[in-house]
Chain A
Amino acid sequence: MEYMKPEEIIELFKEKFNGSVTNSKIEVKTAGLKKNSYSLIWLEIELKDFKEAVKLLGTIQFPHFAIISGDDLGEQIELTYYFSLYYGERFKEISLNITTFLPKEDLKISTITDLIPGAQTAEREMIEMFGIKVEGLPDSPNLFLPKDFAKDTYPFRRDEKGIYPLSKNGKYVGDNIVKREEEVKKIE
């Protein structure tokens, strides 16, 4: 099997998605007494080319998918998908983390489960925790949050749809159901 260098992988992405790759970084880490090293790649890609980027990744090797992490930045939500390539041989594995940004007014991303079926649980988590619409994923009852969890409330958001104290102007939680501050006062 031929192994591409981290620089070549970034070059491949830049070539294919001219200008869409807004940021790229290679991290080299060492460990142990012998100070052998391995590499990580961080890529930022515009939303319109995100799915294509995952497809391109599949042409190198079927990637191992780990998880998606999200961060509410205010105007937009940052999603990072964690993949790894070239597993199976010592020191060959490269971690590849692809970040994309979703504007708050249109929180939509297309599913990657048609390419990597194992990503389903993680996509559902993002739906429930951030209120993102994943296009192409069938509806399902809550996997993580309680089935009777308040509608339009997303625990990891930092705006009024979030939950106090992670979101300073978020809702309050009581008895499994999320309540607005005024409602809490009314009950008291």
Chain B
Amino acid sequence: MSKETYSIPIGPVHCSLKEPMTFNFEIYGEHIEKVNLAPGDNHRGIEFMGMQRNPVQIIYLAERICGICSASHPFAFCRAVENAAGIEVPERGQYIRVIIAELERIHSHILWAGVAAHELGFDSVLYISWRAREEVLDLLEYLTGNRINYGVFMIGGVRRDITEDQIPRIRKTLEYYKDIYGKIEDIFLNDPTIALRTKNVGVLTKEDALRLCAVGPTTRASGIKKDVRQDQPYSAYADLEVKAITPDVLTGKVNGDVYDRIIVRLLEVVQSIQIIEQCLENMPSGEIVAEKKLVKLLNQLKKAKGEGIGRHEAPRGEVFHYVKLEEAETPEVWKARAPTYNNLMTWVPMLLGQQIADIPIVIASIDPCIACMDRVTILNKATGQKNILTKKDLHELSVQKTRRITP
């Protein structure tokens, strides 16, 4: 009997990605034989737009590259401009930056945990974890004025100070997360069904993670101790003992599967809480921004000549920005790279040999913001018959598999 494969395209619309994706799968029976990626259906040309704006305007554009990493992109961009123009950030500004960035990590990881639970069919866990995420969003709104797109970052520092009377409110939120963390850990790491659906699923070996230059929790779950906050500490991270978290901290070994990625993200929530606490304890006094007057700052940037890179460890991995200034109003070059850009290719080794019902959780496991996976077409090559699987159908398949294997 000939080995006939089906081809299944998935996508193309994933609204939260910088590059929405189309996946073309070759399926034999239930198993994935081949994966092709085709991004770019909604390329917004943000770098092109940025090169017609001045650096201060670009901060707000960078903030909108991703709705969830709205502190990470401006963080990396501001660092790139500061390196290019030789601007030093006051220490207090560095500490406030780190606090905002770590609060963002808490909300991003809890959001991801909810999405992962949803993909497996545990919608009650989705509701519980997203309810828990509200606390940190409220805190961010209290500190910055916005739940997302905080508008806090400025070249040379930050725009808003964290005052003494705001600190009890921050500590209250941190206590809240310490209280509920045990529950979250229990749900995700001790539940037999989650373990069945995620252990040995979507495995990324250490070699593949290295070769494909994966970043963030995706690479750390495969056992590579890579974290910009640890390797090349910047801002207040240089004063804090941040260590890259790998799953062997908890289980003693590294499998590189979806379960390991859950472990890494959950442990990073605890790490973020510790980092914020250390920052609050050691926060120096003084200025929060190098140059308060915007006109003066813009003039300084207009006369600057040089190039700089800015890296930041976002919740999904390393964000990389490059800026080249050539004594002009607008930057000569602005290059922004989001972590999913590097993690894209890791889907191929992860998905090969998996089942169709595992596609949602494996794709979600690198945290690509899979909000709007559009639809799936199943095309029978022999008959030319087309079946369209919507996101709902695919989700249903995943839920059924969970029910089927639950003991």
**What residue in chain A is nearest B346 (Cβ atoms)?**
A118
Q: Say whether A144 contacts B233, CB under 8 Å.
A: no
Q: How many residues of A contact B (CB 8 A)?
A: 50
Within 8 A of B (CB), among A138-173: 141-146, 155-156, 163, 165-166
Interface string of A107-120 (1 = CB under 8 A from B): 00000000011111
Q: Say whether B83 contacts A166, CB under 8 Å.
A: no
**What residue in chain A is nearest B323 (Cβ atoms)?**
A69
Interface status of B391 (Cβ within 8 A of chain A): no
Within 8 A of B (CB), among A61-76: 62, 64-67, 69-71
A residues within 8 A CB of B211? 62, 116-118
Bound-state CA distance A130–B238 (Å) is 37
Q: Say whether B231 contacts A144, CB under 8 Å.
A: no
Q: Say whether B233 contacts A38, CB under 8 Å.
A: yes
A residues within 8 A CB of B389? none
Contacts A64-B226, A69-B335, A91-B233 given; does A144 touch B43 at CB 8 Å: yes
Within 8 A of B (CB), among A81-106: 82, 84, 86-93, 95, 97
Interface string of B307-330 (1 = CB under 8 A from A): 001010000001010101000000
Bound-state CA distance A1–B224 (Å) is 15
Q: Which residue in B40, B47, B226, B239 is a CB contact (below 8 Å) of A143? A: B40
Contacts A82-B320, A117-B345 given; does A66 touch B237 at CB 8 Å: no
Interface status of B300 (Cβ within 8 A of chain A): no
Bound-state CA distance A32–B233 (Å) is 9
Q: Say whether A32 contacts B345, CB under 8 Å.
A: no
Bound-state CA distance A29–B82 (Å) is 11
Q: Which residue in A66, A71, A88 is a CB contact (below 8 Å) of B225? A: A88
Contacts A32-B94, A36-B233, A90-B230 given; does A121 touch B344 at CB 8 Å: yes
B residues within 8 A CB of A32? 91, 94, 233, 235-239
Q: Say whether B52 contacts A166, CB under 8 Å.
A: yes
Cβ distance A146 to chain B, nearest Cβ, rounded Å:
8
Cβ distance B316 to chain A, nearest Cβ, rounded Å:
14
Interface status of A33 (Cβ within 8 A of chain B): yes
Q: Say whether A31 contacts B322, CB under 8 Å.
A: no
Interface status of B251 (Cβ within 8 A of chain A): no
Interface status of A20 (Cβ within 8 A of chain B): no
Bound-state CA distance A88–B229 (Å) is 10
7 smallest beta-carbon distances between A and B, as pairs:
A118-B213, A32-B238, A93-B231, A31-B238, A32-B239, A69-B335, A118-B212
28 contacts between A and B (CB under 8 A): A27-B83, A29-B234, A31-B237, A34-B238, A36-B233, A40-B309, A69-B322, A71-B324, A71-B332, A87-B231, A88-B224, A89-B230, A90-B241, A91-B231, A93-B232, A95-B309, A117-B211, A118-B211, A118-B213, A118-B345, A119-B213, A122-B341, A141-B38, A144-B43, A146-B40, A155-B48, A156-B47, A166-B52
Listed in ascending order, the chain A residues whose CB lies under 8 Å from chain B are 27, 29-36, 38, 40, 62, 64-67, 69-71, 80, 82, 84, 86-93, 95, 97, 116-122, 141-146, 155-156, 163, 165-166
